[in-house]
Every structure is written in structure tokens, then in C-alpha cells.
């Protein structure tokens, strides 16, 4: 949980809202006390996810010649656990 003064909150409100939107709780101090706590709303509608951007990103990654099954077997057999 983050703690900021009232002056910091006034100057950085947009950043604080982004932090809260990401799941962090932020307390705002006034005269050494924390009368305000910013938290995300639980009933807020979930954001949509950009699946096309994810697909474009994964398509841009270099392809591996090794299957995931072989990678897991190699990790297991190399006694990494």
C-alpha cells in the first residue's frame, strides 16, 4: 500500500489513479493522519482485452525448433528440481 501526502496527491492524482486501477491501495495523509484510502471498485466493469495486440506480439517472437514437451522433459531430466 502506498502512502502520499495531500500535496503529493494533488500533484500526482492521475498517477495515483493508475496505481489504484492496477490493484494497489493508496492512503492520503492530511496532518499526519490518513483520512482517505483510495481502492479500486469491486463492482467496476472489467476492461476489455486487446487479443489482436497479443496475437501480433506473439507472432513477432522468434520461433523455437523445440517443442514445449521436449523442453519440459529436458528440464526434468537435467535434475533442475
Question: pLDDT at position 80, please?
Answer: 59
Domain 1-41 has CATH 3.40.1620.10: yes
Q: Is the dihedral of CA 36, 33, 15, 53 positive or negative?
A: negative
* In the chain, domain spans: 1-41
Question: pLDDT at position 57, please?
Answer: 95
Instruction: Report H helices in 1-81.
Output: 6-11, 13-21, 51-60, 68-77
Per the CB < 8 A criterion, the answer to whether 51 and 58 are in contact is no
pLDDT tens-digit profile of 27-69? Answer: 999 888 888 888 888 776 777 889 999 999 999 999 888 999 9
DSSP 3: E
pLDDT for 70 beyond 80: yes
Long-range contacts of 39-48 (CB under 8 A, 24+ apart): none
pLDDT for 81 beyond 60: no
Amino acid at each position: 500500500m502506498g502512502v502520499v501526502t495531500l500535496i503529493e496527491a494533488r500533484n500526482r492524482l492521475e498517477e495515483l489513479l493508475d496505481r489504484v486501477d492496477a490493484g494497489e491501495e493508496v492512503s492520503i495523509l492530511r496532518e499526519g493522519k490518513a483520512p482517505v484510502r483510495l481502492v479500486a471498485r469491486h463492482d467496476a466493469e472489467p476492461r476489455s482485452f486487446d487479443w489482436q495486440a497479443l496475437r501480433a506480439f506473439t507472432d513477432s517472437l522468434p520461433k523455437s525448433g523445440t517443442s514445449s514437451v521436449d523442453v519440459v522433459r529436458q528440464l526434468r531430466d537435467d535434475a533442475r528440481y
